[in-house]
Amino acid sequence: MEGAFMFQCFFFIALAIFSYLLFKHNSKASKTESKLPPGSLGWPYIGETLKLFSQNPSLFFDSRYRRHGEIFKTHILGYPCVMLASPEAARFVLVTHADLFKPSYPKSKETLIGPSAIFFHQGNYHSQIRKLVQNSLSLNVIRSFIPAIEFIALSTLDSWCNGTVINTFQQMKKFTFDTAVLSIFGELDSEFKDRLKYNYHIVDTGYNSFPINLPGTLFRKALLARRRLEGMIHDKITQARERKWEQNNLLTCLLNYKDEDGQFLEDNQIADNIIGVLFAAQDTTASVLTWIIKYISDDQDILTAVEREHKALYVSSEGGTQTSLTWAHTRNMPFTQRVISECLRMASIVAFTYREAVIDVEYNGFLIPKGWKALPLFRSIHHNPEFFPQPEKFDPSRFEGVQKPNTYMPFGNGTHACPGNEVAKLEMLILIHHLVRNFRWELATPKSGDCGVQYAPFLIPAEGLPAKFWKKSDAKGHA
């Protein structure tokens, strides 16, 4: 644990110094100091990075929010940033003035995911790709996934019941990977799927490592695995073009698309977007599912209410004889929906997002200089008692009412809002359904005794929430 922490510190200091030197080169923004938002830019070399990463990030943001209000400046990883902690400010950057801000990601992430992937773009290319991704994940398409997702959920849950303590997050990642692959490629042969899994796992490991491209580093291995993935996707594209697949999935949506000039997308644009959607889909949904297990385990009343809802489902609709889920069933789980909404709020795994001002922008009398980062702070908004009374209390009943606009944005808002939100919610409903109907579990104490949280890369419970599962039909503790 401590070794990992030291490494993280080293990592952030090194990165901060690097980026500070870079920033010093091309910053002319300091002349306009007078109109900048309040806040400290911190000790110049390291900015406030160390403070941010040495304490709970919500404490970091909250104390500044209390001191400065909805908008304040700081330095993170050497970049000057403007933090936005009100619904109005988030709406300004993400929705009403989205064209003044472009997405902003570290170069290393762009290289690993692929520069043509949807997240990195703005304007015409972005909206073309976005329509295709949205179509491939529309309600009409995803309702046809239910039987396949159920099958993946049940076989994943079955595989946990061998008497050992599992890492819930790592196991949830298997489930969310398989469902993402399903929505991207449709049904695949197991040989292709295994190679996909193998290479993607290496890319995933490299994504969360120090980004130096030297022989032997995880990052270099990830780049090589990425090249193999691109080759595999290229083969699939060639196959699909020959066979004229009729299936409705992301691959075929991207393949069949022609722009106004009759141009198809290039193979590398298709590959980058497929790898991009895998990235966007897997860790996010797995982190939220892990939090759901944690929250429903911690509150027996809520767990009982969830169980009751799922038990009643078949009885009410089919006289108790039906055994597989329909679309209508999944639309009839209001309590579970509220539990999921409350988990998304509490955990706020996408705590904030990054944009970069493309010109000098003025918001509410404050200047956001060109080139500065603008960060809408979703987590701070979701934990503001003004919008969510007693914000640290897990209370699904908050979602019986409607939320005020831009106070609840677990999936973002505006031009880059999550196109996968419906499929993510569907996956979670299906997994919970089978979990509470057919399985029991017990949380285990993490080996370190640490009941806190960790980043992987999103916030998750310590050690991925170790737990032991068994089938309801089996006696407890059979192994």
339 binds ligand HEM (CB under 6 A): no
Q: Would you say 237 or 381 has its CB closer to ligand NAG?
A: 381
Secondary structure of residue 74 in the 3-state scheme:
strand
Q: Would you say 60 or 175 has its CB closer to ligand HEM?
A: 175
269 binds ligand HEM (CB under 6 A): no
Region of 51-59, 257-265, 347-355, 363-371 interacting with ligand HEM (CB under 6 A): 347-355
Region of 131-139, 157-165, 303-311, 365-373 interacting with ligand NAG (CB under 6 A): 157-165
Q: Which residues fall within 8 angstroms of residue 29, CB to CB, at 6 or more apart?
A: 80, 369, 370, 371, 372
What tokens were used for 425? 């919610």
Residues 60-69 as b or e (16 or more Cβ within 10 Å = b): bbbebbeebe
Give the shortest CB-425-to-ligand NAG separation in angstroms: 14
Secondary structure of residue 246 in the 3-state scheme:
coil
Strands of 278-364 (E only): list them. 355-357, 361-363
Region of 1-9, 190-198, 293-301, 412-420 interacting with ligand HEM (CB under 6 A): 412-420
47 binds ligand HEM (CB under 6 A): no
Region of 33-41, 104-112, 255-263, 418-426 interacting with ligand HEM (CB under 6 A): 418-426
Q: For 93, which DSSP code?
A: I
The correct pick among 368, 406, 463, 465 for binding ligand NAG (CB under 6 A) is: 406
Calpha distance 133→366 (Å, rounded): 36
Q: For 119, which DSSP code?
A: G
Cis peptide bond N-terminal to 457, omega within 30: yes
Torsion (CA) 390, 391, 392, 395 in degrees, nearest 10:
80
Taking CA atoms, 254 is separated from 63, 139, 266, 271, 458, in Å, by: 45, 18, 10, 10, 29
> Tokens 């060639």 identify what position?
238
162 binds, among ligand HEM, ligand NAG, none (CB under 5 to 8 A by kind): ligand NAG
Q: Chain-centre distance of CA 45, in angstroms?
A: 30
Amino acid code (one letter) for 315: V
Residues 58-97 that bind ligand NAG (CB under 6 A): 91, 95
254 binds, among ligand HEM, ligand NAG, none (CB under 5 to 8 A by kind): none
Residues 171-190 that bind ligand HEM (CB under 6 A): 180, 183
The correct pick among 162, 238, 322, 324 for binding ligand NAG (CB under 6 A) is: 162
125 binds ligand HEM (CB under 6 A): no
The correct pick among 38, 44, 405, 457 for binding ligand NAG (CB under 6 A) is: 405
Q: Would you say 136 or 406 has its CB closer to ligand NAG?
A: 406
SS3 content of the chain, % helix, strand, coil (to 5): 60, 10, 30
Calpha distance 417→110 (Å, rounded): 19
> Tokens 């000039």 identify what position?
261
Q: Please give the residue whose beta carbon sits closest to ligand NAG in the complex.
A: 405
157 binds ligand NAG (CB under 6 A): no
What tokens were used for 116? 């043509």
Q: For 47, which DSSP code?
A: B
Please state whether beta strands 373-376 and 79-84 pair in parallel, antiparallel, or not at all (unpaired): parallel
The correct pick among 288, 346, 377, 430 for binding ligand HEM (CB under 6 A) is: 288
Give the shortest CB-288-to-ligand HEM separation in angstroms: 4
Find the angle CA(456)-CA(457)-CA(463) to the nearest 5 degrees.
Answer: 15
Give the shortest CB-56-to-ligand HEM separation in angstroms: 19
Binding residues for heme: 418
Footprint on this chain of ligand NAG (rule: CB under 6 A): 91, 95, 159-160, 162, 164, 166, 171, 405-406, 408-409, 413
Footprint on this chain of ligand HEM (rule: CB under 6 A): 118-119, 130, 133, 137, 180, 183, 277, 280-281, 284-285, 288, 349-350, 353, 410-412, 416-420, 423-424
